[in-house]
Every structure is written in C-alpha cells, then in structure tokens.
Chains A and B, each alone.
Chain A
Amino acid sequence: AQKVTQAQTEISVVEKEDATLDCVYETRDTTYYLFWYKQPPSGELVFLIRRNSFDEQNEISGRYSWNFQKSTSSFNFTITASQVVDSAVYFCALSVLNSGGGADGLTFGKGTHLIIQP
C-alpha cells in the first residue's frame, strides 16, 4: 500500500519569506508519479507539478521549486518570496502503476495549510 505523509499541518510565514512544505512518501513500486496540488479557499484543486520516479532533477517554476530525493523518499516544495495569494492548502500525492500498466487514483497526504501573513 502507498502512503504519503505531510507532517506539517499548518505553516505560517510573513509575506516575502520563503516557505518549504515537506512530503514523504512510501511505496514498494519502482515506477510511480508524485504530484503537488494547491487548494485555495475557493476549494478547487489546482495541479502544480508532476514528477516520475526516474527523474530526480529538481524543478523550478517561477517562485516555486521542488526537491525530489529518492534516497529519503521525499518530494519537498518551496515557495520563494511568498505572497498573500499563496495562502492555501497544499497536497502532495502519489500514483503507482496498476497491473494493466495504467495509473490508479491518487493517494493524497493530509495537506499543509500555508498561511501568508501580510
């Protein structure tokens, strides 16, 4: 069975500070995908990034960056120079190959509520 742990229930930072959200995953599969989603107060989940298990390169997209380390089974997310609009709940999720070679539903962590104070 798969498991995703987001140990930080809530993080509060002052605007323009950096915020790092931790994600640790567990799976016995060698082929898997990791995702981050953002859920703003409006409620609709927004896709941020997908990373497969064979690609350990870190990724940067604007103020967002992701650090994938298979050795520690972690896929951490950093927001640089945070803004109030970044306030949201962020979910890390994991998907593995099923027996048919496709992807099943996502296994989500419990989410981290990020609060950016002005």
Chain B
Amino acid sequence: DVKVTQSSRYLVKRTGEKVFLECVQDMDHENMFWYRQDPGLGLRLIYFSYDVKMKEKGDIPEGYSVSREKKERFSLILESASTNQTSMYLCASSLGQGNWDEQFFGPGTRLTVL
C-alpha cells in the first residue's frame, strides 16, 4: 500500500514563528503536493513538485515555500506564521508526470497559529 505520512497530526505555533510541515511517501512517486483545507472552501493547492529540487506554485502560494531535497520528502515552510494560516494541511503524492494516476493523501496536519 502507498503510504504518505505527515510529521505531526496537530501543531500549535505562535505568530511570527517559522513552521516546517514534513511529508514523506514510500512508493517512489515523482509528484508531491501540498493543499490546505478550510471549512466551506474545500481543498486548495499551495505548491507541488514534479521532481527533486523542482517546485511549482499552486493556487495560493503566498506566505509559503517548499523544499524537496529528496524524492520521498516534501516540506512545506511557513516563513513567518500568521493566524490566517490556521488550517488543515494535506500532503499528497502521485506516480509521475504524464501519468494520470490518482493522488494519495496523508492524514493531514491541523495547524493552529496563535
């Protein structure tokens, strides 16, 4: 089974802190994605990556950055956390570019910024 794991299920941070959300997949997938989920808004794409050291902006990249130094790991970084970044963050992976396989999702990290 494909497994996507996220470093924390719940996280509480203070405004202005630098926050790292980690995501690891164990199926050698090329594509990885970060979404945020908010009530009434569904899931929105923040950033995605097709390969190591590659990144592409999604629909709402402002206030976020990403890092992909290894194929299996994709990190979401909040340089200076703000209260409007309180949300559920979901990581996903899929097989490869040009491949239309479904995305596999991790369990999510519920981040609260105080």
Contacts from A to B (Cβ < 8 Å): 6, 33, 35, 37, 42-47, 50, 52, 91, 93, 95, 100-111
Contacts and interface: CB of A to CB of B under 8 A. Distances in A.
B108 A105 contact: no
Interface string B19-60: 000000000000001010000111111001010000010110
A106 B93 CA distance: 11
Contact of B105 (A44, A102, A103): A44
**8 A-B pairs with least C-beta separation:** A102-B97, A105-B45, A110-B42, A45-B105, A47-B102, A108-B43, A108-B42, A102-B98
A44 B102 contact: no
Contacts of B40: 110
B111 interface: no
Contacts of B92: 45
B100 A100 contact: no
Contacts of B94: 103
Contacts of A102: 50, 96-99
14 contacts: A35-B102, A42-B107, A44-B107, A45-B105, A47-B103, A50-B101, A91-B42, A91-B43, A100-B97, A106-B43, A106-B45, A107-B59, A108-B44, A110-B40
Given A105-B45, A106-B45, A50 B104 contact: no
Contacts of A50: 100-102
Contacts of B41: 110
Contact of B35 (A52, A101, A105, A110): A105
A107 B96 CA distance: 18
A45 B100 contact: no
Given A102-B50, A102-B97, A105-B35, A47 B43 contact: no
Contact of A109 (B42, B100, B105): B42
A26 to B, nearest CB: 15
B60 to A, nearest CB: 11
Given A102-B98, A103-B100, A106-B103, A44 B108 contact: yes
Contacts of A35: 102
Nearest to B58: A105
